[in-house]
């Protein structure tokens, strides 16, 4: 791996930190799109999150083109066989199209025709065998196709993006986590798990302190850690996010 790659990975490491640290998804993806341009030349981009109920992709953010609010996988030009694998994959549109069909698609496909796109790089995101969303990078007609180095950068990011955005998709769907799912997904400690279970049982801080035989200060510290990890700020939000019973 050359020196340039070491430099790129240092910046990508900082970007991975921001993926988790920036709570607002729109702000996070705006920073992502901005930072990716340091490594990958592209003309437009979008992020769509998957709506399991309606079986469609809902626009979360876009850059440099007027993206439609909702699209099916076919409207986005995604490869259905790849989507059905429910795994994280980075691929170029051209890698899965015969050359003659690919040239036809550029003009026939509405998304490509309306925006004069010729090439696309897709980052398919899934988590625990469920679709999460897709990030699409586009290049206009007349430009060169994306290269394998471009794909390599996205491959470094894809697992982190899938994990981060899966939380957003879960919240938007209105589906609650079980305690076990919270513990595994958000890396709660045994003490935090015990505090969480007591909170879900409706006990206040003093009752939890008495039961666990630790100070009220320590209980509050555990609760703040739980809130931070779950990206919430109140018990009301906690009950909206976590089931009271397994």
Catalogue the long-range contacts made by 15-18 (C-beta closer than 8 Å, 24 or more residues apart): 15/157, 16/156, 16/157, 16/160
pLDDT at position 233: 83
Q: According to the model, what pLDDT value does residue 234 have?
A: 87
User: How far is residue 149's CA from residue 136's CA, in Å, rounded to a whole number?
Assistant: 16
Q: Where are the domains of the chain?
A: 3-173, 179-241
Fold entry, domain 179-241: Arc Repressor Mutant, subunit A (1.10.10)
pLDDT in tens, the chain (246 residues): 444 666 667 778 888 988 888 888 889 999 999 989 988 999 999 999 998 878 889 999 999 888 888 888 888 888 888 898 999 999 998 887 665 555 555 545 678 888 899 899 999 999 988 899 999 999 999 999 999 999 999 999 999 999 999 888 877 777 788 999 899 988 999 999 999 999 999 999 999 999 999 999 999 999 999 999 887 888 888 988 898 776
Closest CA relative to residue 158, chosen from 8, 6, 10, 12? 12
Identify the burial level of 59 via C-beta atoms within 10 angstroms of its C-beta, where 0-12 means exposed, 13-18 middle and 19 or more buried: middle
| List of long-range contacts for 61-65, beta carbons under 8 Å, 24+ apart | 61/25, 61/26, 61/29, 61/30, 61/33, 63/30, 63/33, 65/115, 65/138
What's the pLDDT score for residue 14?
84
Q: Which fold has domain 3-173?
A: Beta-Lactamase (3.30.450)
- Is the whole model's pTM more than 0.75, yes or no? no
Contacts of 32 (CB under 8 A, 6+ apart): 15, 18, 19, 135, 157, 161
């Amino acid at each position: 791996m050359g020196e340039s790659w070491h430099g790129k990975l240092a910046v990508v490491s900082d970007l991975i930190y921001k993926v988790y640290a920036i709570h607002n998804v729109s702000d996070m993806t705006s920073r992502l799109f901005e930072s990716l341009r340091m490594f990958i030349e592209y003309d437009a981009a979008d992020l769509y999150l998957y709506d399991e109920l309606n079986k469609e992709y809902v626009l979360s953010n876009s850059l440099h083109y007027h993206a439609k609010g909702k699209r099916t996988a076919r409207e986005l030009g995604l490869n259905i066989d790849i989507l059905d694998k429910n795994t994280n994959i980075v691929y170029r549109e051209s890698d899965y199209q015969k050359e003659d069909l690919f040239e036809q698609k550029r003009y026939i496909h509405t998304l490509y025709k309306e925006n004069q796109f010729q090439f696309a790089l897709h980052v398919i995101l899934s988590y625990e065998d469920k679709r999460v969303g897709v990030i699409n990078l586009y290049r206009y007609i007349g430009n060169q196709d994306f290269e394998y180095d471009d794909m390599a950068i996205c491959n470094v990011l894809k697992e982190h993006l899938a994990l981060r955005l899966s939380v957003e998709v879960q919240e938007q769907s209105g589906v609650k986590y079980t305690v076990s799912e919270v513990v595994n997904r958000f890396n709660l400690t045994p003490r935090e798990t015990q505090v969480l279970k007591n909170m879900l049982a409706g006990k206040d801080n003093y009752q939890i302190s008495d039961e666990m035989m630790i100070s009220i200060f320590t209980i509050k510290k555990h609760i703040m850690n739980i809130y931070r990890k779950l990206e919430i700020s109140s018990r009301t939000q906690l009950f909206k996010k976590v089931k009271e019973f397994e």
